[in-house]
Amino acid sequence: MPTSKAVQTVVFSAFFYVCGWLCIFKTEMLIEWRRKTYNKSKLVQANPISSLVTKPWYPIFIQGCGVFIWLWALLIDYLAFIRPAG
């Protein structure tokens, strides 16, 4: 793998790891931010899917998404660096 592609893959994976970390460990911060946006904007409230932030199971959903994002990043790392090209 050329160096430029390796650097791009590392940056891409790092972005996924940070997003997953935010979803898992900073769930309350993300939910508070999204609820504030939801309450402030009538345009956001008009979107039917945006009401998810008001549901009681939303924190678990966000944490599950964080785990999925981490697994996705691990798969990218495996396919790019560990699995032999062929």
Question: Per-10-residue mean pLDDT for the chain, 86 residues long?
Answer: 84 95 96 94 91 93 97 92 74
| Whole-prediction pTM | 0.81
Q: Which alpha helices (DSSP H) does the chain contain, by range?
A: 3-25, 27-40, 42-46, 58-77
What's the pLDDT at 83? 80
What's the pLDDT at 86? 59
Residue type, 83: R
67 Rama sector, left if φ>0, alpha if ψ -120 to 50, beta otherwise: alpha
CB 59 within 8 A of CB 28: yes
What's the pLDDT at 82? 85
What's the pLDDT at 73? 94
What's the pLDDT at 1? 67
Cα distance between residue 56 and residue 59, in whole Å: 7
